[in-house]
């Protein structure tokens, strides 16, 4: 049984209305659930694209990405955007220089330690020790950071300058779905 176009539109309209309601009532929890879900989905997709030997989904890895997205990524990014708005508030007369400053703060102050945290925590959650996490950081950090700067800079510029603050984590999650797949693939390639 397939849904009619009208039923699908009603479903997505209800979903969007509920999301906006939850975002208003419990913004951090809503962003955490979204981030955890999208991170898990990205990991599942990456495992399907580049399967482990035997082709089975490694659920510990999926849960590690979900936990990072829920417990760390969403709260850190949520509060980062609040802080960014306080130091460089967007106004109707915001200059291009202010837009570039917001971008540079994200790219060069926020992103490097966030990637370090991601690599360390996910490796630990996947069941590897601190020594393995540090080794992975040494091997992968610079490559992932450079790729992040290449891939994310345009999206970050749009996000910090044109997306309303309450939707920035969601926008980042949507772009992050593709980024999660890239990072997971890169980590797997470098581990092989």
Sign of CA dihedral 180, 141, 65, 17: negative
SS3 call for 26: coil
Note the pTM of the prediction, 2 decimals: 0.86
164 located within any domain:
yes
- Taken as a whole, the chain contains a residue count of 192
Structural domain span for residue 169: 27-191
21 located within any domain:
no
Share of the chain above pLDDT 90, in %: 69
pLDDT band at 176 (very low <50, low <70, confident <90, very high): confident
pLDDT in tens, 120-144: 999 999 999 999 999 999 999 999 9
pLDDT in tens, 41-59: 998 988 887 777 888 999 9
As a whole number, the mean pLDDT across the chain is 90
Q: What is the pLDDT of residue 134?
A: 97
- Burial of 102-140, coded b for 16+ CB within 10 Å and e otherwise, reads bbebbbeebbeebbeebbbbbbebbeeeeeebeebbeeb
The 3-state DSSP composition of the chain as helix, strand, coil percent (nearest 5) reads 85, 0, 15
15 located within any domain:
no
125 located within any domain:
yes
CA 4 to chain centre: 33
6 located within any domain:
no
12 located within any domain:
no
Q: Domain count of the chain?
A: 1
């Amino acid at each position: 049984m397939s849904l009619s176009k009208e039923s699908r539109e009603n479903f997505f309209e209800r979903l969007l209305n509920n999301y906006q309601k939850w975002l208003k009532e419990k913004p951090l929890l809503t962003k955490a659930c979204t981030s955890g879900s999208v991170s898990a989905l990205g990991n599942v997709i990456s495992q399907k694209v580049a399967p482990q030997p035997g082709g089975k989904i490694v659920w510990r890895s999926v849960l590690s990405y979900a936990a990072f997205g829920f417990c760390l990524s969403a709260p850190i990014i949520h509060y980062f955007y609040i802080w960014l708005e306080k130091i460089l508030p967007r106004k109707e007369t915001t200059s291009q220089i202010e837009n570039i400053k917001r971008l540079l703060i994200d790219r060069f102050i926020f992103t490097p330690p966030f990637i370090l945290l991601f690599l360390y925590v996910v490796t630990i959650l996947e069941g590897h020790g601190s020594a393995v996490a540090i080794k992975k950081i040494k091997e992968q950090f610079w490559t992932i950071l450079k790729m992040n700067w290449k891939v994310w800079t345009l999206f970050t510029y749009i996000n910090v300058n044109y997306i309303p603050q309450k939707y920035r984590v969601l926008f980042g999650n949507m772009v992050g779905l593709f980024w999660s797949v890239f990072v997971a693939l890169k980590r797997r390639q470098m581990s092989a």
